[in-house]
């Protein structure tokens, strides 16, 4: 089983729509969770951390479900500029490295 | 604007040649990480470096790879004898702390093409 699994998509949505997708992780000792955004052939950029209570940053909402070992990202009122690949990232408490999912591609169309 | 500059942005090299990829952080980072991403695949951890020592490395990071902080500022990844399968984007990610609680800011990356 892969350490971090994501639905690759693509999710093709119109501007203004809401899009949501999940990521599952296999290591129950995982401690920190993040969503990164990556544009084509660019570096991953930290979008937001994911906290146990769930958190929001503008149009973006992240949720964590430790019992089922998944995290989610919801994008409201999609903009053209939201088109990107969204990377789910997980780390363990005593482990410095980040484990990446393969990414979920979102395309927002006019 | 990334906090970290990586050079070169793109390098083409012949198989068997040595390449050195450089990472120049702006602040006084203590931890350094290298990741790579083969085109169309996920980002993979290569190595972490702290206090002038490797603290962890992946299976990918074999004897062909080495890391250094030669002048206390630049952080380098060397591949001694490149193979075709080393073609990838290489990202440096310095961190002030352990990093795993805060997430990293990645450098802009070096695209390595081995021909």
Q: What average pLDDT does the segment B7-12 reach?
A: 97
Q: Is the confidence at residue B23, as pLDDT, over 60?
A: yes
**Alpha-carbon distance A50 to nearest alpha carbon in chain B (angstroms):** 10
CA pair distance B19, B34, nearest whole angstrom? 15
pLDDT value at position A2? 78
Q: Does residue B94 contact residue B25 with C-beta atoms inside 8 Å?
A: yes
- Residue-wise pLDDT tens digits, A34-89: 999 999 989 999 999 998 888 999 999 999 999 999 999 999 999 999 999 999 99
**Alpha-carbon distance A22 to nearest alpha carbon in chain B (angstroms):** 16
A80 touches chain B (CB under 8 A): no
pLDDT value at position A86? 98
CB B42 to CB A102 under 8 A? yes
Hey, of A6, A96, A104, which one would you mutate to test binding to chain B, going by the most B CBs within 10 A of its CB?
A: A96
Q: Is the confidence at residue B15, as pLDDT, over 70?
A: yes
Q: Is the confidence at residue A28, as pLDDT, over 70?
A: yes
- Residue-wise pLDDT tens digits, B33-55: 999 999 999 999 999 988 788 98
B89 touches chain A (CB under 8 A): yes
By CA distance, what is A42's nearest residue in B? B108
pLDDT value at position B27? 65
**Alpha-carbon distance B98 to nearest alpha carbon in chain A (angstroms):** 6
B40 touches chain A (CB under 8 A): no
- Residue-wise pLDDT tens digits, B58-107: 999 999 999 998 777 788 999 999 999 999 999 999 877 655 567 788 99
CB A46 to CB B105 under 8 A? yes
Q: Does residue A22 contact residue A70 with C-beta atoms inside 8 Å?
A: yes
């Amino acid at each position: 089983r892969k350490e971090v699994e994501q639905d690759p998509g693509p999710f093709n949505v119109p501007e203004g729509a809401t899009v949501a997708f999940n990521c599952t992780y296999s290591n129950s000792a995982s401690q920190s969770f993040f969503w990164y955004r990556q544009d084509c052939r660019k570096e991953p950029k930290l979008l937001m951390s994911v906290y146990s209570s769930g958190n929001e940053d503008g149009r973006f909402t992240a949720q964590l479900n430790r019992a089922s070992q998944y995290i989610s990202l919801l994008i409201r009122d999609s903009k053209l500029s939201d088109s990107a690949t969204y990377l789910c990232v997980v780390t363990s408490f005593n482990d410095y490295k980040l484990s990446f999912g393969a990414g979920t591609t979102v395309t927002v169309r006019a | 604007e990334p906090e970290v500059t990586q050079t070169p942005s793109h390098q083409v090299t012949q198989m068997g040649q040595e390449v050195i990829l450089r990472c120049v952080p702006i602040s006084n980072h203590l931890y350094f990480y290298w990741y790579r991403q083969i085109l169309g695949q996920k980002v993979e951890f290569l190595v972490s470096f702290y206090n002038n020592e490797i603290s962890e490395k992946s299976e990918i990071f074999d004897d062909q790879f080495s890391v250094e902080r030669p002048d206390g500022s630049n952080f380098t990844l060397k591949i001694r004898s490149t193979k075709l399968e080393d073609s990838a984007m290489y990202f440096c990610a310095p961190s002030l702390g352990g990093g795993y609680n805060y997430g990293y800011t990645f450098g802009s990356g070096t695209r390595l093409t081995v021909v």
